[in-house]
Amino acid sequence: MNNREQDNKDFDRLLGESARIHGHLCPGQVLGVKMSMLGLREIGISDPKGKDRKSLIVFVEMDRCATDAVQSVTGCSLGHRTMKFMDYGKMAATFLNLKTGKAVRVIAKEESRQRAKGYFPEIENKYTAQLKAYKIMPDAELFDLMAVTVSIPPEDMPGRPLDRVTCDACGEQVQDMREVSKDGRTLCRPCAGPGYYTRPKCDII
């Protein structure tokens, strides 16, 4: 089996695993799997779930289908603090090799949507055409690559919490230096305001 055949076999296996975890197969799954394979290859990670699992951190810029694919392929997750969610609304992800410091940002090309239609002009449903085309389109047509530098502060690294303090307003615990100092008080971010939720008049449900 040559390298191309092995890559295709790996892709089919990884796509199958990703679709099973995600719940269905869609164009975003295909992009996420191929994006991950490309990013890992570029930074020299060959076994993200095995011997390289402590050498990898991924930053995802979208909360869409592709993110589940990235998690499935890389084994990175929010719970392990090896996946970082950057709410940029972009179909992009950065793959960082902690041992070497090498990092690459993989960005899905917007024009790939139109190119996909050209691969299967007979298919009227654009999502079906994208699903089939993305599987066979070369990486150069699907993605741009950007060599980047990523600095991660100690409080954002995997491992046990470095610090834990109590919010002076609500009394809840705040980990990993996420507290805010305001008017001489130590506050959690929601109490320093505004947060994503508002407190009811009665805190007890």
- In this predicted structure, the answer to whether residue 90 has a pLDDT above a threshold of 70 is yes
For residue 205, the model assigns a pLDDT of 46
Q: How far apart are CA 132 and CA 135, in angstroms?
A: 6
Spatial neighbors of 30 by CB under 8 A, at least 6 apart, are 15, 69, 131, 134, 135
- Token digits of residue 192: 């320093």
- In this predicted structure, the answer to whether residue 2 has a pLDDT above a threshold of 80 is no
How many C-beta atoms lie closer than 10 Å to residue 180's C-beta?
15
- In this predicted structure, the answer to whether residue 84 has a pLDDT above a threshold of 60 is yes
For residue 39, the model assigns a pLDDT of 98
How far is the first Cα of the chain from the last one, in angstroms, to the nearest whole number? 61
Q: Where are the domains of the chain?
A: 3-152, 160-205
pLDDT range class, residue 142, cuts 50, 70, 90: very high
The CATH fold assigned to 3-152 is: 60s Ribosomal Protein L30; Chain: A; (3.30.1330)
Spatial neighbors of 29 by CB under 8 A, at least 6 apart, are 15, 18, 19, 22, 65, 66, 68, 69
Burial grade of 29 (CB within 10 A; 0-12, 13-18, 19 or more):
buried
Task: Render pLDDT for 145-188 as a digit per residue (tens, 0 to 9).
Answer: 999 999 999 999 999 999 999 999 999 999 999 999 999 999 99
